[in-house]
Amino acid sequence: MIRPLPSLGLLDRVLRVLFPGVLFLLLNGCASVSYYSQLADGQLQLLRAREPVNQVIADPQRDPQLRAHLAQSQKARVFASQHLHLPDNQSYRLYADIGRPYVVWNVFATPEFSLKPQNHCFPIAGCVAYRGYYTQSAARGEAALQRLQGMDVSIGGVEAYSTLGWFNDPIISSMMNWGDERLATLIFHELAHQRFYVQDDTEFNESFATFVEQEGTRQWRGSRGLAPDNGKSMQQRDQLTQLVLDTRARLEHLYAQPLPVEQMRQRKAAEFERLRSDYRAMRDSQWAGDKRYDAWVNAPMNNAKLLPFGLYDQWVPAFAALFRQVGGDWVKFYTEVEKLGGLPVDERKAALKVLAGAEITSG
């Protein structure tokens, strides 16, 4: 049973006093006070903006489209707990209008001739390959500083994130632009992070959440009598991802060679042009000229821009095989996922490789 929601005003007052202090106590001495101050302030602003979804739906003065969208989201939220066995709490039963397209902007950075990202470690999430900022201007400022140091830099907007159960995460206005089904998938994905999370293993965490999102969405559609998605958009995304991963592999080989700087830059630029050429050939021959990724491909390229690819789906086949092994039982599946997460990192990756191989064989 869901506990009654405490007064948001009282909760905000308590968090305003306690949260920054707790955050700073958890940080090591090398942390930038200004950076973590904006993280604390941004999170507090998000928490203060929350209001119960049911109140928004019941308010005739609110936008009818918003109310209808939120009403559908709550059906998916109930499905997430009752059928997917995801956490049954107040997360995504709250709404926050933040008045901007993204909740945070992530800054990725790599050396000019390396695909190894700058990692940043946090007390809750562990180490990740980016730094998040609650304003686009702050992200751009950080990116400019990194470029002055000769780094390759990329900025990516994020619609939603999970506090891993530390707070009751709201549906954010930035999540509302993709339709009812996309919102449902985001809820499934973020609740999966609450269900289980391993510090310092982004590939594991994101692949797990992506599998829950994909399988959860398939079951969600089935529960409403809808036919399976034809998978066209996902197939195109997967094909683009593979092109990027192939480019990364060639770049890694290139950067391992002892070449003069100017020659290295020329060959690096040539690899990015090859990516664009391969994309255009695939788009025109297999996608009937669909240009949905043209803007991304034609924009300036660098190492950092390639970093997010593969992180979110590298081990999805492994989790699909595991789900099949337990007969599609979500509770048993989560138990096995927890066992995998408890393994030392090398053993965990070895086990995932075996599972992924089994999935390819069965497919």
Provide the pLDDT for residue 363. 53
- Is a pLDDT exceeding 50 seen at residue 7? no
Provide the pLDDT for residue 178. 80
Residue 157 dihedral angles phi and psi, to the nearest 5°:
-80, 145
Over the range 107-130, which residues count as b (16 or more CB within 10 Å of their CB) and which as e?
Answer: bbbbbebebebbebebeebbebbb
Taking the CA atoms of residue 284, residue 289, residue 293 and residue 295 in that order, the dihedral angle to the nearest 10 degrees is 100
Quick one: what percent of the chain has pLDDT higher than 90?
72
Provide the pLDDT for residue 232. 80
322 contacts: CB under 8 Å, gap ≥ 6 = 333, 336, 337, 340, 355
Provide the pLDDT for residue 2. 34
CA distance linking residue 279 with residue 289, whole number of Å: 11
pTM given for the model? 0.84
> What's the pLDDT tens digit per position in 55-109?
999 999 999 999 999 999 999 999 999 999 999 999 999 999 999 999 999 999 9
Mean of the pLDDT values across residues 223-231? 82
Average model confidence (pLDDT) for the chain? 88
Q: Which alpha helices (H) appear in 52-201, and where do they start and end? A: 53-58, 64-82, 136-148, 179-195
Q: Which alpha helices (H) appear in the chain, and where do they start and end? A: 8-26, 33-48, 53-58, 64-82, 136-148, 179-195, 202-223, 232-255, 261-286, 294-298, 303-306, 316-325, 330-341, 345-362
Question: Is the Cβ–Cβ distance between 106 and 158 less than 8 Å?
Answer: yes
Token pair for 179? 């339709």
Mean of the pLDDT values across residues 114-125? 82
The pairing of strands 104-110 and 131-133 is antiparallel
Instruction: Work out the burial of residue 36: count CB atoms within 10 Å of its CB; fewer than 13 is exposed, 13-18 middle, 19 or more buried.
Output: middle
Return the residue matching tokens 């086949």: 317
Provide the pLDDT for residue 327. 98
Residue 52 dihedral angles phi and psi, to the nearest 5°:
-60, 135
Please, which pLDDT band fits residue 220 given cuts at 50, 70 and 90?
very high
> What's the pLDDT tens digit per position in 244-254?
999 999 999 99
Provide the pLDDT for residue 292. 93
Provide the pLDDT for residue 123. 66
- Residue 283's identity, in one-letter code, is R
Provide the pLDDT for residue 17. 44
- The SS3 of residue 160 is coil
- Residue 121's identity, in one-letter code, is C
DSSP annotation of 55 = H
Return the residue matching tokens 């203060």: 48
- Is a pLDDT exceeding 80 seen at residue 3? no
Taking the CB of residue 63, how many other CB atoms lie within 10 A of it? 11
For residues 234 and 274, the model is more confident at 274
Question: Is the Cβ–Cβ distance between 73 and 53 less than 8 Å?
Answer: yes
Token pair for 39? 């993280």
> What's the pLDDT tens digit per position in 296-338?
999 999 999 999 887 778 899 999 999 999 999 999 999 999 9
